Amino acid sequence: MFVWNLIVVQGMGCYFASDHCSTRMTDQDQASSVARKRPKSVTTSDDEERLSKKLRLSQNPEDSKPSLKSKPIVASYAPAQRQSHPPIQTSRSVYSYERLNQIEEGSYGVVFRAKDKQTGEVVALKKLKLDEEKHGFPITALREINSLMTCRHENVVRIREVVVGDTLTQVFIVMDFIEHDLKTLLSLMPNPFLQSEIKTLTLQLLRAVNHCHSHWILHRDLKTSNLLMNNRGTIKVADFGLARRFGDPVGVGGMTQLVVTLWYRAPEILLGAETYSTPIDIWSVGCIFGELLLHEPVFQAKGELEMIGLIFKLLGPPTVEDWPDFEDLPLTRTLNIPPPHPPTLRQKFPYLTASGIDLLSSMLTYDPELRTSAEQALHHPYFTESPLPKHPDLFPSFPSLAAGEKRRKAFESPSAPQRAKGQTEYDYV
C-alpha cells in the first residue's frame, strides 16, 4: 500500500526553459536563420526600450560609407533581437540562500537543500570540491556547468545559477530541487513500476538523452542514481560531472576510458576502445530500462572481467559477424571467450512483450555502429502498443527522503469502547 502523499514543493514547476537552448556546432546545419522564434525576454524592460530609442543612430544606408572618424561607441539597439539573450552578470553570493539540510555527499562534493531568501523557493545547492587544484578551475566542473547550461530540457535538471562563497574555493551550483532519485525510490518502492509507467519513464529518459546528443554533449554517467524524479511523474537527468562536448569526428586526442559507472558501462569501453561516442549513453539507457523492468540492476558485477562475463552470458558472446571491430579492440585478445550460445534475454525478462525485447536488445547491441540511437528508439513500436505510456500526472507520489520526509505510520485508530472496571454486567444505561 502506498501512502499517497501530496507534497508540492515551491519552485519546481518551472519548465519554461526547454526550448531555450543553443549550440555552437549545429549552426552549420541550419543555413536559414530567417524567422527564428524568440522566447520572451526575462531582462529587457521598458526603460531599456526607451533608452534604445534615444541612442539609436540615425544613419541613412544610402548615402553614408563606413568612416574612419565615427564617434566612439554608443549603441544602436535592436530590442527584439536582444531579448533572447541573457545579460552579462556577476555571480550572486551563496548567502542569498538559507541552508536547510544535507541531501547527499559524493566524491564530487556535497548537495544541500536550501531556500532562496528572496523568493522562498526550495532549491538544491551542490558544492564543488575545489581545494588542491593544480590546474586552476577544474575542467570537469567547467564541463558540468557548461553542459547543464547548454542542455536545458524538461527532462534535464534545471540549473538556476552558480553562486560563490567568501573565498575563491567556494562555488555552488544551484539547481531545482527534485524530491527523489530513481535508485533510492526503486529500493523503497514496495511494488515495481507498471509497464505503462516504465514506458513513460524510458521515453522521458530517451528524450533527455536525444536532446543532449543533438547539442553535442555526452553524459557518460547515466544510471538510476543520477536520474531524479519529482512527485508528478517526471524524471530529470542530473549529475553532468563526467559529461563533455564531443565533435564529429569524436574527440581530438582521444577521450578517457574512465567513464560510466561499471554496471552501466558499454562493452566497447570495457574492451578499451580509444574512441567512443553517443552509443555509450544508449547502452546505459538500455541498462536502466532493464533495471526498471527487473526492479534490480541488470549487470551487478564486482569487477570489469565479471562485468564482461555477465554481458556475454545475457547476450551471448560477440562474434565477428555482429561486431566486426570486436577483434581489433585492445583488450579482446586478453579474454577467454566462452563457446557461442544464443542470448538469454527472453529468460531474464519473461514478462516483456516481443517489441519490448526488441527495444532492449537494440539498445544492448554489441556493435556501437549498429546500436540504436536515442532518436530511433523514441519511435520504437514498444511505446505505441498497449499498455500505452501513462500520463505523468497519473503517477503515484512518494515521501521524499531527500526532503527529510517519512512515510506516514498506519492509523492508530481508537479501539472499541471497553467496559470500565467495576461496572456490573447488566449496565444498559
Partner 1 sequence: MEPDVAPLATLAQIQETPSARDGIPSELEEDLRAYGAKLIQQAGVLLKQKQVAMSTAQVLFQRFWYTSSMEKYGIAEIGMGALYLASKLEECPLRMRDVINVYDVLIQRSRQSTSSRDFKYEPMSYFSQDYYDMKDILIIAEMQLLKRLGFDVHVTLPYGTLINYMRVLNLLEDTKACQMAWGYLNDALQTPVYAIYPIPVIVCASILLVIRHLKLEIPSSQEDSPSWWDLFDAPFEDVWLVANLVVRLYRPRSQSDQNRVMQLLTKKDVRRWLDENA
| Catalytic (active-site) positions | 221
Nine-digit cell at 81? Answer: 533581437
Binding status of residue 21 toward partner 1 by CB under 8 A? yes
Q: Which of 198, 199, 195, 194 is nearest to 383 (CA)?
A: 199
What is the nearest approach in angstroms of partner 1 to the Cβ of residue 79? 9
Among 110, 149, 310, 335, interactor with partner 1 by CB under 8 A: 149
Residues 273-312, interacting with partner 1 (CB under 8 A) = none
Nine-digit cell at 201? Answer: 519513464
Between 89 and 336, name the residue whose CB sits nearer to partner 1: 89
Q: State which amino acid sits at residue 373.
A: S
Q: What are phi and psi of 237, to 5 degrees?
A: -75, 135
Binding status of residue 87 toward partner 1 by CB under 8 A? yes
> In whole angstroms, how far apart are CA 328 and each of 61, 202, 272, 331?
63, 33, 10, 9
Residue 295: which region, alpha, beta or left (left: phi > 0; alpha: psi -120 to 50)? left
Among 40, 69, 333, 421, interactor with partner 1 by CB under 8 A: 69
Specify whether the CB–CB gap between 174 and 125 falls below 8 A: yes
Among 1, 6, 63, 73, interactor with partner 1 by CB under 8 A: 73
Binding status of residue 410 toward partner 1 by CB under 8 A? no
Write the binding mask 171 to 190 for partner 1: x where contact by CB under 8 A, - elsewhere. x-------------------
Terminal Cα distance for the chain, rounded: 41
Binding status of residue 24 toward partner 1 by CB under 8 A? yes
Question: Grid cell 538469454 — which residue?
Answer: 344
Binding status of residue 355 toward partner 1 by CB under 8 A? no
Binding status of residue 259 toward partner 1 by CB under 8 A? no
CA–CA distance, 397 with 9 (Å, rounded to integer): 13
Binding status of residue 252 toward partner 1 by CB under 8 A? yes
What is the nearest approach in angstroms of partner 1 to the Cβ of residue 221? 18
At residue 379's C-alpha, the angle toward residues 376 and 384, to 5°, is: 155
Among 15, 51, 335, 376, interactor with partner 1 by CB under 8 A: 51
Among 5, 11, 15, 84, interactor with partner 1 by CB under 8 A: 84
Q: State which amino acid sits at residue 386.
A: S
Between 164 and 403, name the residue whose CB sits nearer to partner 1: 164
At residue 235's C-alpha, the angle toward residues 232 and 237, to 5°, is: 150
Task: Name every residue whose Cβ is closer than 8 Å to that of residue 360 and which is 6 or more positions away in sequence.
Answer: 286, 289, 290, 293, 345, 349, 352
CA–CA distance, 279 with 240 (Å, rounded to integer): 17
> How crowded is residue 426: how many other Cβ atoms within 10 Å of its Cβ?
5
Size of the site for partner 1 (CB under 8 A): 73
Candidates 15-23, 345-353, 373-381, 391-399; binding stretch for partner 1 (CB under 8 A): 15-23
Binding status of residue 77 toward partner 1 by CB under 8 A? yes
What is the nearest approach in angstroms of partner 1 to the Cβ of residue 369? 24
Binding status of residue 249 toward partner 1 by CB under 8 A? no
Between 61 and 342, name the residue whose CB sits nearer to partner 1: 61
Nine-digit cell at 303? Answer: 569487477
Residues 99-138, interacting with partner 1 (CB under 8 A) = 135-137
Q: Which of 97, 123, 102 is nearest to 112 (CA)?
A: 102
Among 25, 188, 388, 394, interactor with partner 1 by CB under 8 A: 25
Binding status of residue 146 toward partner 1 by CB under 8 A? yes
What is the nearest approach in angstroms of partner 1 to the Cβ of residue 136? 5
What is the nearest approach in angstroms of partner 1 to the Cβ of residue 40? 11
